[in-house]
Amino acid sequence: MTKAIIRRDFLKAAAAGTGIAAVGLPATATAIAAAAEATPFRHGVASGDPLPDAVIIWTRVTPVPEAAPGSGAGGPAEVTWQVAADPGFQQIAASGTLTTGPERDHTVKVDVRGLEAATTYHYRFLFDGVASPAGLTRTAPRPEAEVDGLRLGVVSCSNWEAGHFSAYRHLAARGDLFGVVHLGDYIYEYRRGEFAARGTVVRPHEPAHEILSLADYRTRHGQYKTDPDLQALHAACPWMIVWDDHEVANDSWSGGAENHDPATEGPWAPRLAASRQAYFEWMPVRTGPAGEIYRTLRFGTLADLTMLDLRSYRSRQTSGIEVDDPGRTMTGQAQMDWLRSVLSGGGARWRLIGNSVMISPLALGSLPAHLLGPLRRLLGVPEGGYALNSDQWDGYTVERKRLLAALPDNTVFLTGDIHTSWANEVPRTAATYPASPSLAVEFVVPSVTSDNVDDFLRAEPRTISLTAEGLVRAANRHVRGVELDSHGYGVLDVNPDRVQMDWFAISNRSRADAASSWLASFASAHGSRRLRRAYRPVPF
């Protein structure tokens, strides 16, 4: 029986010869470029969605130099995959061979079955006598297994043009994570220069134009997968991901997007289909029988993680009192029925919900205009300063009420989307708080790189935003902590008694060697639905 799934053995396994060590970063840009040229596996390896007997492994092969992502060039390529108990690949647990080709952009994705529960595995791919870098992954414990610890990296909003993915590098270097939760905006769709770092492109997007076609989405995914920090974190542990809007286009809904103009960009459906096809080719995610990606993963008795799809089925964003229309939906009926049944079922001691957009209500009406402007741009608050951002759950109030009424007392929302860091006690309604009880806690992680408040203000970090943070908290008593300037990542530590989120900031997203520093921590005792500040991050 598994007692713990987060142990130093994970770190030791990583350091033993493959895994993190084997995919360690070349020291110089020249070496990185040379390594990329020398291998048919220039997009790294990845794994995801661990089950007790299965995990998805992924790579992309470049069989001939001209077979670049999105090119359609290059013929069929036979690739062998291996999953082993040891770093030397002597004890093969599962293996196979498959043929990939331009019809799937030469990606390779295998849902490996028949594995042992709660077990660390090494995996790699072989093509034309060349072995890929080895990745490290792990299966989940069985649902009935007693588990006393779970630690996850939590990230969102990684915009290539806005900087380097140092958040990924620092997470990969820890060696103590069971896995990584990515809450969306893994890629951005914009044309070169449209959404960079305070208007400055740190590194340009490929292709140069806004991505619209299947070839475009494949090219963009391929570019992101060349990032050495991204490759290191994918190779270090399994990821559990969900898309938000920018995997297709800004502020998307079921029938379109703010950043989609049918008059000049054509119909929505083929663009959506192209983005989804490239996503499924390039990301280590498992889909359900109807192609859905909302799903629950479970980690023994300790925790389950329900990942929501809040883009594919939602009603169009609106404003004013229309947000209270009971006919509006964020999840779609089928996903909401499924979610309510998941939450009312047995479940684990902690119910984690991967929720791409903030569920806590937000009022900003009392902010002065000079602060409201940048916040409006970031959060999408209407001109009149209404107490909502209608792209978040604030735009779907009736459905939110139905969901909040169904929450067990051990629910933790993990949220991204708004590029800033928040620790919230989720109230029944904002207006009556603090009389309204807290129904759950919510941890919002900052962007890996995407612009936030000081960037929009072109201000020094931790200057003018301090005023905004104070005002946000004054108008939103359920917000226990908020930080509007930093880029970085979260680390969620779960044990039977409490969950704790540690926020970390990177020093400079424009530098590939940015440092990481601890920002803040909040914890919640089991069953309390409340937050308390923690004064040190969990040791690792």
486: left (phi over 0), alpha (psi -120 to 50) or beta: beta
Residue 157 sits in the site that holds Fe ion (CB under 5 A) = yes
Cβ atoms of residues 265 and 271 within 8 Å: yes
The distance of closest approach from Cβ of residue 263 to Fe ion in the complex, given in angstroms and rounded to an integer, is: 25
Shortest distance, CB of residue 68 to Fe ion, whole angstroms? Answer: 27
Candidates 40-48, 150-158, 213-221, 348-356: pick the segment binding Fe ion (CB under 5 A): 150-158
Backbone angles phi, psi at 124, to 5 degrees: -160, 175
CB of 513 to Fe ion, least distance (A): 24
Contact (Cβ atoms closer than 8 angstroms) between residue 309 and residue 242: yes
- 37-45, 126-134, 136-144, 151-159 -> range binding Fe ion (CB under 5 A): 151-159
Rounded Cα gap, residues 432 and 231, in angstroms? 46
Number of residues forming the site for Fe ion (CB under 5 A): 3
**Range list of H helices, 349-452:** 369-379, 397-405
Dihedral Cα 471, 472, 473, 478, nearest 10 deg: 150
Q: Mark the segment that binds Fe ion (CB under 5 A) among 135-143, 184-192, 305-313, 431-439.
A: 184-192
Q: Which residues of 107-118 are buried (b: 16+ CB within 10 A; e: fewer)?
A: bbbbebeebebb
Q: What's the min distance (Å) between Cβ of 175 and Fe ion?
A: 28
Residue nearer to Fe ion on the CB measure, 236 or 444: 444
> With respect to Fe ion, which residue has the nearer C-beta, 19 or 446?
446
Strand, helix or coil for residue 166: helix
Question: What would the two tokens of residue 286 be?
Answer: 């498992």
Q: 185 or 304: whose CB is closer to Fe ion?
A: 185
**Residue 440 near residue 426 (C-beta atoms within 8 A):** yes
Measured from the CB atom, the residue of 45 and 379 that comes closer to Fe ion is 379
Q: Decide if residue 304 touches Fe ion (CB under 5 A).
A: no
- Rounded CA-CA distance 178/539 in Å is 15
Q: 150 or 375, CB closer to Fe ion?
A: 375
The reply to whether 167 sits near Fe ion by the rule CB under 5 A is: no
Structure tokens at 274: 């192209």
Residue 125's CB is within 10 A of a number of other CB atoms, namely 25
Considering the complex, state which of residue 185 and residue 399 has its C-beta at the smaller distance from Fe ion.
185
Q: Rounded CA gap, 479 and 360, in Å?
A: 8
Residue 185 touching Fe ion (CB under 5 A): yes
Kindly give the pairing relationship between strand 438-444 and strand 411-415: parallel
Looking at the Cβ atoms of 229 and 493, the one nearer to Fe ion is: 229
From the list 141-149, 287-295, 400-408, 444-452, the region that binds Fe ion by CB under 5 A is: 444-452
- The answer to the question of residue 210 lying near Fe ion (CB under 5 A) is no
What mask of x and - would describe binding to Fe ion in positions 445 to 464, judged by CB under 5 A? -----x--------------
Nearest distance in Å: CB 157, Fe ion: 3
In the complex, the residues that contact Fe ion under the rule CB under 5 A are 157, 185, 450
